[in-house]
Structure 1
Amino acid sequence: MKRIAPAADRNKSPILGVLRPLLPDGARVLEIASGTGQHMIHFASALPTVTFQPSDADPAALESIESYRAEAGLSNVAPPVLLDAASASWPVTSADAVVCINMIHISPWSSCEGLFRGAARILPPGGVLVLYGPYCFSGRYTAPSNEAFDASLKEQNPAWGVRDIDDLSRLATETGFVNEAITALPANNHVLVFRRQA
């Protein structure tokens, strides 16, 4: 059954604007935590020469993704696969880019660590890991709404929360990535681009 996330409709075009120059013709993109599937279909429609592999750890999300995929009929979107970012083994073994939208603040830190380690396993030197969501900068929130959101997340699950760029940069260094770019987008969110080093 198709799910609809209003936020996905609002942010999909701004995110695409950052992704477009990072994904050359022929690129293979793995999306982690594809959720409803709305982002993937939007990106694939706009970038017909790029191949997209959606994934999620939630079987219900996979159903939604497949519904969007079937409806769109795009040849550059593969069937979704079950993938837990925290796992030491992923069903996808190679990609040119890994994209993860709005996941790391609603999952434990182990999932964030798994995301970076998994991306390091499957990306070639020069490949990119692209993250989107709300972040802190050296302990500072970008807006009061993000501070309130962080508190709300931690009330739901103490292992969740808005992640700090400093922590992500350290994790990137540990796993062979360099923080290449930070782009501010609407609603106090940012796109982070990490490039895999040789």
Structure 2
Amino acid sequence: MTERPYSPSCDRNRDPILAVLRDAFAGRRHVLEIGSGTGQHAVHFAAAMPWLRWQCSDGAAYLPGIRAWLDDAALANTPPPLELQAIVDPAPGFALPPPLPRGEDGLPRGFDAVFSANTLHIMGGPQVEAFFAGLATVLSDDAVVAVYGPFNYGGRYTSDSNREFDAWLKARDPASGIRDFEAVNALAAGIGLRLLDDVAMPANNRCLIWRRGA
């Protein structure tokens, strides 16, 4: 039996994030979580928002740990996790695109909600672009996208701790680093997403909320 991986930060940030998602995902039905990590967020959010079908996804190495959390929670609204990765070649987008939820007519309609936490600063810049290119292929026409993590504004760090975190990220992988809000928002706008909210979160993080369509 696979041991459940554990991230202390997930326990610290899950309730502040949930407070934002309860409002942002009201009226949503099918959520794709990109970069589910340990799986802790998924079980917490899916239990608190049972009207959502919460689809986890991540790289193949993370799937056993996610399954361990999902199996232990045994929730009716968490299907098995999917392998999903943002790739640059042969074209920017998602490797192994997920099967899309279907409408009442049986036709694929896309996910009407997407959530991703602490992912964009782990990726390289081209992978961030691929992330948004991939989103364009899986979202429904009125989808809501929520992304949590640290961001810079006007090319400036919002705190000394974020400056130190960014240096740590770049020492580990020079391609990674805290992203500029303006650049990320431009990528979102490029696939038809309109910024609805930019919520200040604990520990100098933000939760960005976009919606597709009018």
Q: TM-score, normalised by structure 1?
A: 0.94
Distance 1:96 1:26 in 2: 6
Distance 1:146 1:26 in 2: 32
| 2:42 paired with 1:40 | yes
Counterpart residue identity of residue 134, structure 2: G
Counterpart residue identity of residue 196, structure 1: R
Counterpart position of 1:60:
61
Give unmatched runs, 5+ long, in structure 2: 88-92, 101-109
RMSD over equivalenced CA pairs, Å: 1.4
Counterpart position of 2:200:
184
Say which of 54, 69, 92 aligns to 2:99: 92
C-alpha displacement of 1:25: 4.7
Output one character per residue of 1:121-174: Cα deviation in whole Å (capped at 9) or x when no partner: 221222111100011011111100101111111111111000010111111122
| 2:184 paired with 1:168 | yes
C-alpha displacement of 1:91: 1.9
Question: Do 2:34 and 2:116's aligned partners in 1 also have CA atoms closer than 8 Å?
Answer: yes
Counterpart position of 2:139:
123
Distance 2:144 2:26 in 1: 12
Output one character per residue of 1:87-140: Cα deviation in whole Å (capped at 9) or x when no partner: 445123321111110011011122221221222222122211110001101111
C-alpha displacement of 1:26: 5.6
C-alpha displacement of 1:175: 1.7
Distance 1:92 1:152 in 2: 36
Distance 1:67 1:154 in 2: 31
Residues 193 and 26 (structure 1), Cα distance of their counterparts in 2 relative to 1, 3 Å cut: closer
SS of the aligned residue for 1:106 comes to coil
Q: TM-score, normalised by structure 2?
A: 0.88
Counterpart position of 1:69:
70
Question: Do 1:105 and 1:163's aligned partners in 2 also have CA atoms closer than 8 Å?
Answer: yes
Question: Do 2:35 and 2:117's aligned partners in 1 also have CA atoms closer than 8 Å?
Answer: yes
Say which of 125, 128, 149 aligns to 1:133: 149
Aligned length: 197
SS of the aligned residue for 2:111 comes to coil
Q: Which has the larger radius of gyration?
A: 2
Distance 2:83 2:161 in 1: 33
Question: Do 1:119 and 1:129's aligned partners in 2 also have CA atoms closer than 8 Å?
Answer: no
